[in-house]
Structure 1
């Protein structure tokens, strides 16, 4: 039974985004385990098909459009879906519409991109959902952060998509509250990638051999002076090296080729390493599963990225998360909050980071114990969520 699934996936220009790929990978695995046959929507369908062993098609054609162009594109595609217009022979949406014709359900996978700052995602996800509904297909929205910047009319567009969905899954309380403010209901779950790489016999928070510090940063400083932020982070990494152990930098968004010049997060990491007085190493970006295993085996994670925290918290790895704005604060706080951690530090408070680090490390045993206590319930809830998703394809 075919299910169309859209995620922010597809390696372009050799750059791999671990978190986006991780959510898609888990969604594919969960659907396959329940007897469904996913077909992916990807920016690079050939690469995605090879990576995950599924058929894949290209996107709807919103990339690179401004807001007015996106609105016109959505209107045209919906007219096509209603039988009132036709696509040009070379229109990229042809493959997607053909895949919808053969599907039993659309899964709108995670996440965190339905906000006014990324209008193309708002239009693509909502348009695809409406095209599915025009065909009578159920739509599931999973693993989402919504907003917090969702201005008119984007909030109305997203609210309509959720209202017409069979199921809506969100990953932090702030998003659940936003959905409730629209008079709608959503299931609050952990991020879809939380258990990536966990075997059935693994226990969240279980004692394991741990070693050193992993640092995984984002270059989004929300307008703050880069030199100042980078110097403070270098001082924090030095403090972690002296109090915890060896520091390794790992790019969440970086080149797949370990020999390629540093780009994305890897370039930021090199600038910070040059400012440090303690030695450090670099671990290639690798796969999403590699990234999950890495932070679960660390004594400490320092991250400005979201998914390293998602991977680390279920294993009881203490996390010091650096937030740049309300959006990153909501995501990081939500990811850690599911597991009882509270170590989110605003970039403006970086001078306080060494003291926060000391407090966090003192709580390491309690953090591991809390993850172990919460793990069975959260893992069971995640399995139950995917059972409900799969069941929607049969309705």
Structure 2
């Protein structure tokens, strides 16, 4: 069986952890299947070491590509941006109605073929967890929906795991995704908040979606000795540092205005617990680099007790996860920064501003069962924030419960993953494979 593993991963340890987690579990569960995984230049070579994994590349034409040469028409050139918005809205509304996704072109130049022809190579599709199914990332939604409709037209199963759905500001985009999801066999969600509400409002069959947790659960953290050795190079010890993460990007520009408040909070925590602060980057993309924002935080702290792990070439994803598993506590913006820590029973408070990160932070607090895990930056009174974070860090009962909850979360993710892969992708019950 040929399974296409689709994702939207960038230079981001959270994205890579989800893809690696899914691939590892598929190799375990779909024994004998051939996996065709979308390539990425930054991934470690061991990702491709299994004989039944093949790298594939795919670039789908954008909706506006179907209206060529607008920029060459003198009168229309001044309205190009507005025409792109109108054109994109039109194609979103018409997909799988008047517009057959199978006819959309894949690739570039003379090698272009139709999406229908490209998808005919595969028997099923597994869409890896992501936070990209939102109108903040329209190209991701467009590609995902085109693939789903095309696989459905060919009578082939599609499943999602570990998804965040939303937030949405456009009814057209929301409806575009809802129509596509109705053709998927199963949608696994990573949080029981807005994503669950989205599925309920889309009138999906109740058995076609469930909260299962994040796909990064499938990637084990690096071992203790490897983590300890790495930390020693920075004169750090396991359990004796506070991890921090800040993200500023085009989808979260407002975080920049809170750098000083975050720095003051981390200074308070460092003094209170007499521990150094370590910036652990998740994204190293140029346009939303956690290393860049980490240095901004370091400058704002004006302290020699903060370090930035600034060599992405040395930080494998399992090592980053292992480092966060050895923190005393964690405070950060990134969803996977917090999830890596919490899934290893380390208290992690998600700080946020804006709709995009609001859903992520609230999703974390809902999934892990404590509203103290989400701290809005626009209400970041230093004294109150220090109290809330310290209260959680020092809550021994929470730490004990978190360890149990983390074990249950991993077990549930594996059980739902295996069950749905067997039933939906492989077309057989799990019992029949024993």
Normalising by the residue count of structure 1, what TM-score does the alignment of the two structures yield? 0.84
Q: Post-superposition shift, 1:97?
A: 5.5
Q: Post-superposition shift, 1:271?
A: 1.3
Residue in structure 2 matched with residue 246 of structure 1 by the alignment: 276
Report if aligned partners of 2:246, 2:332 keep a CA contact under 8 Å in 1.
yes
Structure 2 matches for 1:201-216, cutoff 5 A? Answer: 210-216=239-245
Cα RMSD, aligned residues only: 3.1
Cα distance in 2 for residues equivalent to 1:8 and 1:86: 19
Cα distance in 2 for residues equivalent to 1:101 and 1:116: 28
Which of 1 and 2 has greater Rg? 2
Structure 2: 5+ residue stretches without partners: 65-83, 224-236, 428-434
Structure 2 matches for 1:18-167, cutoff 5 A? Answer: 18-34=13-29, 35=31, 36-42=33-39, 44=40, 48=43, 50=45, 52-53=47-48, 54-62=53-61, 67=85, 72=91, 79=100, 81=102, 90=109, 94=113, 100-167=119-186
User: Please, which of 191, 205, 211 is the counterpart of residue 214 of structure 2?
Assistant: 191
Alpha carbons of 1:157 and 1:230: their partners in 2 closer, same or farther (altered >3 Å)?
same
Does residue 1:372 correspond to 2:407, yes or no? no
- What secondary structure sits across from 1:193 in the alignment? helix
Cα distance in 1 for residues equivalent to 2:267 and 2:5: 43
Alpha carbons of 1:367 and 1:86: their partners in 2 closer, same or farther (altered >3 Å)?
closer
State how many pairs are aligned: 372
> How far does the alpha carbon of each residue in 1:235-286 deviate from its partner, in whole angstroms, 9 at most, with x for none?
111112112311111221116xxxxx99722111111111213321121342
User: Could you say which structure has the higher helix fraction?
Assistant: 2
Cα distance in 1 for residues equivalent to 2:356 and 2:288: 24
Report if aligned partners of 1:302, 1:322 keep a CA contact under 8 Å in 2.
yes
User: Please, which of 345, 354, 376 is the counterpart of residue 346 of structure 1?
Assistant: 376
Cα distance in 2 for residues equivalent to 1:322 and 1:89: 41
> How far does the alpha carbon of each residue in 1:325-361 deviate from its partner, in whole angstroms, 9 at most, with x for none?
2331221222243233332111112223222222122
Report if aligned partners of 1:5, 1:38 keep a CA contact under 8 Å in 2.
yes
User: Please, which of 321, 327, 347 is the counterpart of residue 356 of structure 2?
Assistant: 327
Cα distance in 2 for residues equivalent to 1:199 and 1:248: 18
Q: Post-superposition shift, 1:112?
A: 1.5
Does residue 1:182 correspond to 2:202, yes or no? yes
Q: Post-superposition shift, 1:367?
A: 2.3
> How far does the alpha carbon of each residue in 1:159-185 deviate from its partner, in whole angstroms, 9 at most, with x for none?
111111111111112211121012113
Report if aligned partners of 1:31, 1:37 keep a CA contact under 8 Å in 2.
no
Cα distance in 2 for residues equivalent to 1:177 and 1:63: 29
- What secondary structure sits across from 1:117 in the alignment? coil
> How far does the alpha carbon of each residue in 1:175-234 deviate from its partner, in whole angstroms, 9 at most, with x for none?
11121012113211111113521599xxxxxxx9522111111115955483x5111111
Q: Post-superposition shift, 1:376?
A: 3.7
Structure 1: 5+ residue stretches without partners: 11-15, 201-207, 256-260
Residue in structure 1 matched with residue 308 of structure 2 by the alignment: 282
Cα distance in 1 for residues equivalent to 2:387 and 2:266: 13
Report if aligned partners of 1:59, 1:96 keep a CA contact under 8 Å in 2.
no
Cα distance in 2 for residues equivalent to 1:278 and 1:378: 38
Alpha carbons of 1:20 and 1:288: their partners in 2 closer, same or farther (altered >3 Å)?
same
Residue in structure 2 matched with residue 312 of structure 1 by the alignment: 341
Q: Post-superposition shift, 1:381?
A: 1.4
Q: Post-superposition shift, 1:50?
A: 3.9
Residue in structure 2 matched with residue 204 of structure 1 by the alignment: none
Deviates more, 1:372-381 or 1:120-129: 372-381
Report if aligned partners of 2:12, 2:282 keep a CA contact under 8 Å in 1.
yes
Normalising by the residue count of structure 2, what TM-score does the alignment of the two structures yield? 0.77
